[in-house]
Amino acid sequence: MEYCLAEPNINLFILGNIENFGFESPFQDVWFQRQRGEICGVALRHRDNLLIYSQQLDIAFSEAVSFLISSKVRIVSGKNTVIEKILPYLPTDYPRKEMKFCELDNVEKLINETSEVAMATESDAMEIAMAYGQIDEFQGLYPSDVSVRYEQIVNRIRTKVGIHMFIRRDGKIVSHVNSAAETGGSGMIGGIMTLPEYRNQGFSSKVISALCKSLDQRKKTACLFHDNPTAASVFLRLGFHETNQWVIIELGHGMQS
């Protein structure tokens, strides 16, 4: 934890998952590597996702790739400087997504009128999971099986690991956001979506503002990833700024040795 706290926001997922699920959960494992008696890298598997971090980029990357092969994970992600060191050792050219990592540094730019934004309960989880399937940008980022998406969402709500917020129009959820992970000082925003036919009406700005205000009230910095120039203009307008780069490698059903 101390090692990852050198960059607390970029390591929000690793820190948050350890804080919330510890080292004994059946769906999560944490490993570290040492060089000269000191930790030089950390890897965390949460279900079929693996996160890798190294402060000084001094881990044995060939060993890390062998580890990835044995892990049978679907997605590997981390800050770009770490993932770039791994890429030469991969057995094939897997699809990858490059994203920008942003932090909120001006809450005064958030939208004040968010009265129509509602807090999701467990009864909303399936509708949210189904709405995910209508968003082309979510392909590859979330499980294709709606029941798996539902279980992840309802578990997050039930355990209070994160919160989901949405706007309902015409009897259905049309815009949504959630905190995907939270630590004592940060909160990762994810699941930002508005159904195609309801876009360009300010709904995403409202749900994002409502969630950011909730985090700010609890003394937590809001963070998020994006790879969309249009979305970037929205985040900038709401008070976010880019601080790092993030890369996601899509391995499908796992690497083959």
In a domain, 244, yes or no: no
CATH classification of the domain holding 126: 3.40.630.30
Q: Does 203 share its domain with 225?
A: yes
In a domain, 201, yes or no: yes
Q: Which of 67, 99, 131 is the last residue of a domain?
A: 99
What H or E segment, with its residue span, contains residue 156? helix 146-159
Per-residue pLDDT reduced to its tens digit, 9-31: 999 999 988 988 899 999 999 99
Non-local CB neighbours of 237 within 8 Å, separated by 6+ positions: 109, 205
Q: Does 69 share its domain with 46?
A: yes
Q: Which of 78, 99, 120 is the last residue of a domain?
A: 99
Q: How many domains does the chain have?
A: 2
pLDDT number for residue 80: 95
In a domain, 53, yes or no: yes
Q: Does 111 share its domain with 87?
A: no
The pLDDT of residue 253 is above 60: no
pLDDT number for residue 63: 87
The whole domain housing 82 covers 4-99
Per-residue pLDDT reduced to its tens digit, 96-145: 989 999 999 999 999 999 999 999 999 999 999 999 888 887 876 777 88
CATH classification of the domain holding 59: 3.40.630
Residue 89 is encoded by which pair of tokens? 């050792």
Strands 164-169 and 28-35: unpaired
Q: Which is higher by pLDDT, 143 or 159?
A: 159
In a domain, 185, yes or no: yes
The mean of the pLDDT values for the chain is 91
Question: DSSP secondary structure string, 23-48?
Answer: TT-TTEEEEEEEETTEEEEEEEEETT
Q: Does 115 share its domain with 59?
A: no
pLDDT number for residue 257: 42
Query: pTM for this one?
Result: 0.81
Q: Which amino acid is at 1?
A: M
pLDDT number for residue 70: 81
Q: Does 159 share its domain with 187?
A: yes
Find the mean pLDDT for residues 145-153.
Answer: 92
Counting every residue, how long is the chain? 257
Per-residue pLDDT reduced to its tens digit, 40-73: 999 999 888 999 999 999 999 988 888 777 877 8
pLDDT number for residue 256: 47
